[in-house]
Chains A and B, each alone.
Chain A
């Protein structure tokens, strides 16, 4: 039973796809199907809306998420009332989404459901913490790596990454793009003392001095960094950006004389929006990147089929991927 034992060591796990149709849902269904017979209490939520029976973006058939008896799932009011599954409402939370409040329910029968989840990272954290109340052993987040979602799946302890032909139909290209994301996920975390401070900071750009104190540069986003150029390195070479980081920032940092000593700290890996070439050229010149919250990569799953009809060779893709990532890779369709 590939990687399930690994999954069980986490309290929270997110399953994210690099692109739509990269097999995330199949991967999720595989995990749930395996866990159902184990004596563990599972809770399931999502980032944004998920579980539509057809993909509304590409209009392709999409496997629904199957919930098994006894599992806890979270769904917005509107979706909850449309469900087919028989389930018991345990609580209606104060977290509001565009589809109503979030309903926490326990499955009485087994069926497919529409999941929905908290609108931002903070609420997601709160919700996962709340699952303790229901003696949940593992909270699974159906995640997305997208700029459109304000909630970051990186708050979970572990992560399963789904990638595939939908992301790129060229094996070397797909491997390269996946490797980039895996590199970002594996970025080292800052020291625990600094992490505690950074967890409370939701926005802004800060200089971090050698003692780990934060100095607000009074810049709202990296796009306005130009204004504070003179102040950036007045406290040392460490810079913390709470929001998104772009190509501009990485290019700016790469051009500095002290680039080899610069350490950029971001909230989590999903906040890096630089393209791979820009990112790697910063790193190659000695620049360091660290994250305030790190998630552990539990597994990488591949889906060799794309919605446009490309079908890559599963074995070839798997071998190339394993070689590049130096970790086990699984084909979701072959996981049984």
Chain B
């Protein structure tokens, strides 16, 4: 799945991508098309690139260089369309030539800038020969026209034409018809000749550029990736994110947080509690009071998994992530009156598709929020137990939140701690309720679900 489509599916991902300071349209296009990586080699390669860029940013000298590269990146033009035209061996027009030249000039500038940063420098293709094709006078100014330097004949013909034009102006005022007619004819012939030569030059240049097509394509990819790397690294530093390690077994996080929510709470000057969590193979049930952050936990797990496999750092202080082929979830209320399904029916269809995928024994991350919450508790319990038991036997990491207690399943169970003991006497309101909840997860023996629903309703003023 491309990042573009994941944006609408994974909560919080759009926020992270929107916050990236991507400088060029090219960078953004390539970023949105980046794939969900499943091979450990790919993920590690991309994460290490970000790590090296973060390290460069932490070095005073190199960070200044990267800032200057950023400025250059904002001048980059996306010439993918022009490159396609070169590939098809079409003759480029002046505007396209200008774009290739300006791209090549900015790229060589960037290559020169990053020369003290070896891991970036070694990726940069050398576009000097492209520059010299389009800049025969060696001015290195990003402007373009078929100048006299491209063909020795051009200069002379153009000079002649200017001469005739001047004569024509005089002839116009003296009204000498036959004389000016002749001059017009001469001017027109010259124009045709000049256009011919210009077109020949354009053809020759396009042909020469065709020979550099692989290099241009490579440069396009590298420049886009530098833009993306710098943005990812800046974000990783700003949001206090960490490079995840790749795990073969369980996925574990320490100090895991949901960036969008954290920022919101920081703005209101309130506390955000990050959590530690371990997701093992098999199913895991999470119980906890209302407002205890269960849904946010599931969203954070989905977001972090996606970020890691799209080559981002993750929002935590420590992370070991087992790669999966897909993240599947049933989170928001997927009720759809329009398709004639109740919330229960929609959920069951979703769970069914998850079960079908899990059956294929592919590694998956499955996240289900409050399974079977909209039906009667007796059958609801049975459904939760059955789904948990089934997923426990598959090659998946499944996290299911529920309010049901006394479930007859042998899978792992966790509980959100809930209300902090010494807060019993404090004045709790809708506004500050978050400050009195301990969001950390503890092992649960499965017999006792905290019954705090009535208390929370009371606080909410019901």
Contacts and interface: CB of A to CB of B under 8 A. Distances in A.
A248 interface: no
Nearest to A81: B93
Contacts of A106: 143
Interface residues of A, number: 18
B444 interface: no
Contacts of A189: none
A77 interface: yes
Interface string B53-85: 000000000000000000000000100000000
A107 B246 CA distance: 59
A89 B135 CA distance: 13
Contact of A103 (B95, B147, B158): B95
Interface string A262-290: 00000000000000000000000000000
Contact of A109 (B95, B98, B144, B158): B158
Nearest to A84: B191
> Main SS of chain B's interface residues?
helix
A88 B145 contact: yes
B191 A109 contact: no
B191 A81 contact: no
> Main SS of chain A's interface residues?
strand
Contacts of A105: 145
Contacts of B144: 88-89
Contacts of B161: 109
A91 B99 CA distance: 9
A91 B161 CA distance: 27
Contacts of A91: 142-143
Nearest to A110: B165
A84 B158 CA distance: 12
Interface in A77-92: 77, 80-81, 84, 86-92
A108 interface: yes
Given A81-B93, A89-B95, A109 B162 contact: yes
B143 A89 contact: yes
B94 interface: yes
Interface string A92-124: 100000000001011011110000000000000
Contacts of B77: 92
Contacts of A88: 143-145, 147
A89 B145 contact: yes
Given A84-B191, A86-B145, A86-B158, A92 B95 contact: yes
Contacts of A77: 95
Contacts of A109: 158, 161-162
Interface in B131-153: 142-147
Given A109-B158, A109-B162, A87 B95 contact: no
B191 A89 contact: no
A103 B98 CA distance: 10
Interface in B178-222: 191, 194
A110 B187 CA distance: 13
A81 B95 contact: yes
A81 B94 contact: yes
Given A84-B191, A86-B158, A109-B158, A92 B143 contact: no
A89 B94 contact: yes
Contacts of A110: 162, 165
Contacts of B162: 109-110
A92 B101 CA distance: 12
Contacts of B158: 86, 109
Contacts of A87: 145
Contacts of B194: 86
A39 to B, nearest CB: 20
A93 to B, nearest CB: 11
Contacts of A89: 94-95, 98, 143-145
Interface of B: 77, 93-95, 98-99, 142-147, 158, 161-162, 165, 191, 194
13 contacts: A80-B95, A81-B93, A86-B145, A86-B158, A86-B194, A87-B145, A88-B147, A89-B94, A89-B95, A89-B98, A89-B145, A90-B143, A106-B143
Closest 3 CB pairs of A and B: A88-B145, A89-B98, A90-B143
